[in-house]
Structure 1
Amino acid sequence: MEIFKDFDFSNFWDDSEYALQEYIEEKPTDQLIKSIEDELGYKLPASYIELMKLHNGGIPKNDCYPTSEPTTWAENHIAITGIMSIGRNKSYSLCGSLGSQFMIDKWGYPNTGIFICDCPSAGHDMVMLDYSNCGKNGEPEVVHIDQESGYKKTFLAKNFESFICGLVTSDVYS
């Protein structure tokens, strides 16, 4: 199965100075990927690994995802600030200072997956790879977790690839 078939990444990322400083890490090695998976306790989806090998974390130009129900962000979509890299060195990497485990330990987010995208609310909502229905080695769904609404979970996409391909620009909602 081909991942991201016919998806054009040439204009996907906003490589701003902030993105370079806070999100983007060097291309992850297989050894690093395995150590991150071991540390987090979940197998990363092949599509996440594939994208991170192309561009390890950052800020996408298309930063909104449609929802079928309202969230505290908007009636019909969520927004993301960035996608976490596979690594430990940047604040917004999976195992960085503001990474997945930090959100679970310090903010009380549910320990049912890996937090992969932060949102403009500065920690009050996050996007997560949710392994609740597939187990630690399965293909996780992508969900939005809203801390302000009692950690309400809103389904976004059946997998990470669908999530990335479904991101749209905020202009759609203005």
Structure 2
Amino acid sequence: MSNYFKDISTFWKDSDYAREEYINETPSAELVKEIEKELGYKLPDSYVELMQSQNGGIPINTCFPTNEATSWADDHVAIHGILGIGREKTYSLCGEVGSKFMIDEWEYPDIGIYFGDCPSAGHDMFCLDYRACGKNGEPQVVHVDQEDDYKITFLASSFEEFIKGLVNDEAFD
């Protein structure tokens, strides 16, 4: 692990639900390449690194502060889970309700890779946005709100910055 995680054991919430729906086997380099080819984008190194610790799941800290209101709250958005690199689990990048599903079936804008779902059950999502960097660059992280005509809200300039910026929901009580 690089310095972007001090202690990975304090990042993921352990639950039967996460193990059943989100957590895939540790991705091989070959699987990473296959998923990248299938999605059409290179995954950020920090994303692959996080998935090496646990391939998908539910974070302990689920809120990301915002400077503007969203359908979720006036000052933050909430993530429910992070999709693992794989196809097997329902909530994996190429799984049953993965990134392509959100674009093809829910008509989310085709701007990158949808990697995180929200407590709204699909009505807003987190996306690695490749519009500014191209398919092989370092994507920004945005929140896309289906309930507000797919409004895109900038969150972080990188996946690593997004992960470092997650805070516990108690910060907003």
TM-score, scaled relative to structure 2: 0.98
Determine the structure 1 residue equivalent to 2:93.
Answer: 94
Cα contact 1:27–1:56 (8 A) shared by 2: yes
Residues 128-173 of structure 1 show CA distances to partners (whole Å, capped at 9, x for unaligned) of 0000000000000000000011110000101000100110010000
Corresponding residue for 1:137? 136
Equivalent residue for 2:41? Answer: 42
Equivalent residue letter for 1:9: I
Distance of 1:156 and 1:7 partners within structure 2: 22
Give deviations 1:8-64, integer Å, cap 9, x for gaps: 222111120000000001100001000000000000000000000111000000001
Once residues 41 and 30 of structure 2 are traced to their aligned partners in structure 1, the CA distance between those partners, rounded to angstroms, is: 15
Aligned-pair CA distance for 1:7: 2.6
Q: Is the 8 A contact 1:3 1:161 kept in 2?
A: no
Counterpart mapping for 1:1-174 below 5 A: 3-5=2-4, 7-174=6-173
User: AA paired with 2:155?
Assistant: L
Aligned pair count reads 173
| Structure 1 unaligned residues grouped into runs of 5+ | none
Amino acid at match of 2:109: P
- Between the aligned partners of 2:89 and 2:112, the Cα distance in structure 1 is 20
The residue type equivalent to 2:166 in the other structure is L
Amino acid at match of 1:76: D
- Could you tell me how far apart the structure 2 residues matched to 1:99 and 1:4 are? 29
1:4 and 1:161 in contact (8 A); partners too = no
Does the 8 Å CA contact 1:142/1:155 hold for their aligned counterparts? yes
CA distance in 2, matches of 1:104, 1:5: 30
In structure 1, give the amino acid aligned to 2:127: M
SS in 1 for 2:8: coil
Identity across aligned pairs (percent)? 61
- Over 3 Å counting, the alpha-carbon distance change for 1:99 and 1:75 in structure 2 is same
**For residues 4 and 113 of structure 1, do their structure 2 counterparts lie closer, same or farther at Cα, with a shift above 3 Å needed?**
farther
Give, as a single letter, the amino acid of the residue that structure 2 aligns with 1:46. Answer: D
Q: TM-score, normalised by structure 1?
A: 0.97
Unaligned runs of 5+ in 2: none
Equivalent AA in structure 2 for residue 8 of structure 1? D
Following superposition, the deviation at residue 3 of structure 1 comes to 4.0
Deviation at residue 6 of structure 1 after TM alignment: 5.5
> Matches of 1:151 and 1:91 in 2, distance apart?
23
CA distance in 2, matches of 1:71, 1:5: 28
Contact 1:7–1:165 (CA<8 Å) still a contact in 2?
no
